[in-house]
Structure 1
């Protein structure tokens, strides 16, 4: 573990930090210029890049290539490939702990969650935790004590203790749980039910979780992104072709926006006005104006676009 290979450049620097869109079925990343709304380059990665995450020092964006068992490190400001780390098994989803000590990956195909020690440069596998069927998305609490993982094909939410790297509890969920998001006060978890039309809300203040509400958003509720104001949360409804805005205090949908083509992952502009959304079935990046409630821009990208990210985003 931790063997680093030199990378190569696949994009040119730009004045504005680019928007990255992962093309899961083309093994590459579209680099979008937010000034001209054009694709100005592609970054070659391993097979099936699905999700990405910024390193704690904010110098590298890590693209996880699930089918190639590798991570591609990219400069988030220029789009230049910095290096590749091989031997990371089936990294479908990934997240750093807030204390910056751990990189946690979900092996979607192989039914385990891995804990890698992060020393600021290299990764060392410390523990592989068997889960249940198809770990999908991860969330880590602010205290870096617990990893929460949805189990897409066994309809569960699993909590893993970081100190011991053992499963603390399991809880049944609605159909096909996907993304997970924790409320700013640490009391609630929101789980997108892709096999349903709702977001399930869990109270996690006690020793066992308690399902307290299902918020109806739209068919195929899938991925989350914070609005940046500490109160609202966006969720993509992949089948309904909409984005819903949830009030995390009232647990109600307070707004909705059109997002044709199978909306999946999102990012939010620094001022909170625009949503950058991957349209999974339409092979596009959508730029949605939340004030005018319409698609303001469309950019053609690769096959099955998934993860979306930019350095200049609203607070998480």
Structure 2
């Protein structure tokens, strides 16, 4: 009995292994694996051609990377980065599993198609031709609907996953990209403007939600459930947004074109910087930040916790879980109607994040 107790105590007393960050380098056909403790790249995984986005399988056992140029899915062990298997698939640019785990929906930017696959078998169930450049995918919490942004035509398409048909297509603005389900509405970034817009899927009404800067791109719920983080690639910013009111609280000025975002189990934010080939680490609570050199044109990113009690599904367990893949519905807050007329000015409490160098503190405010 004492021996068993000692083994248990030794297990919990042992230092936790460093988290791993996976960064998809679309410009040089590799995946960087980064040790988050030493903040150093520890290996690169070669791919065929051009990786952009990634997602975790419903069982949490695989990290699935879409090689859109190579027409391939790469399944990785999220604990080690080992390649588990590769599957041929048509142009997987953006990919998401439905919340119930039944479907894998793939947006094919170059081939103007949206594909629905059976998640378990990867059998193609339905292919939809879309007007121009299907870009990003989000779901309704009940898995009935998939919503796809169409960059080329400035629209969002609603796909009925049960009927397997496109139910409607709605104009939202120029070059829509990132999309999430958020408290009964869809929040969409417009790369052709500086706005994120809110689309009501019931009435198809479109209103400005908030502004972050030119090249408004993608949006990610933070782990506290009270914050959203939205990126602007052209203005080179990350906006910290109140999840209830959609008010912009802070703007982080970040050179390098921030794109995709992930969070570690301590709440730190990891953002890929497309134009400078770096991964930025930012602690929103303390202002500490650092940059890590990775490959060319880094795009998608995922942080895998490697400590007792956490697994790859941790990213979907907190209140603000990524609603692109695992939407976690919450009742609309009392003041949601304020969204309709509220457009905060930009910048709002701007904060400069200096490029380069080791960990330092943010300077705020900066003008």
Same fold flag (TM > 0.5): yes
- The residue aligned with 2:188 is 191
- The residue aligned with 2:124 is 125
Is 1:220 the counterpart of 2:222 in the alignment? no
For 1:303 and 1:271, the matched residues in 2 are separated by: 27
User: Structure 1's 202 and 231: CA in aligned 2 closer, same or farther, altered over 3 A?
Assistant: farther
Secondary structure of the structure 2 residue equivalent to 1:123: coil
TM-score when normalising by structure 2: 0.78
Is 1:309 the counterpart of 2:308 in the alignment? no
Pick the structure with more helix per residue.
Answer: 2
Equivalent residues in 2 for 1:207-286, closer than 5 Å: 208-272=203-267, 274-286=268-280
Q: List, as ranges, runs of 4+ consecutive aligned residues in structure 1 with deviation greater than 6 Å.
A: none
Equivalent residues in 2 for 1:26-175, closer than 5 Å: 26-86=28-88, 88-119=89-120, 122-175=121-174
For 2:55 and 2:23, the matched residues in 1 are separated by: 12
User: Structure 1's 229 and 289: CA in aligned 2 closer, same or farther, altered over 3 A?
Assistant: closer
- The residue aligned with 1:7 is none
Q: Size of the alignment, in residue pairs?
A: 294
Using the TM superposition, give the Cα deviation of residue 143 of structure 1 relative to its aligned residue in structure 2, in angstroms.
0.2
**Contact 1:257–1:290 (CA under 8 A) maintained in structure 2:** no
The RMSD of aligned alpha carbons is 1.4
For 1:246 and 1:109, the matched residues in 2 are separated by: 32
Secondary structure of the structure 2 residue equivalent to 1:278: strand
TM-score when normalising by structure 1: 0.90
Using the TM superposition, give the Cα deviation of residue 242 of structure 1 relative to its aligned residue in structure 2, in angstroms.
1.2
User: Structure 1's 258 and 291: CA in aligned 2 closer, same or farther, altered over 3 A?
Assistant: farther
Secondary structure of the structure 1 residue equivalent to 2:123: strand
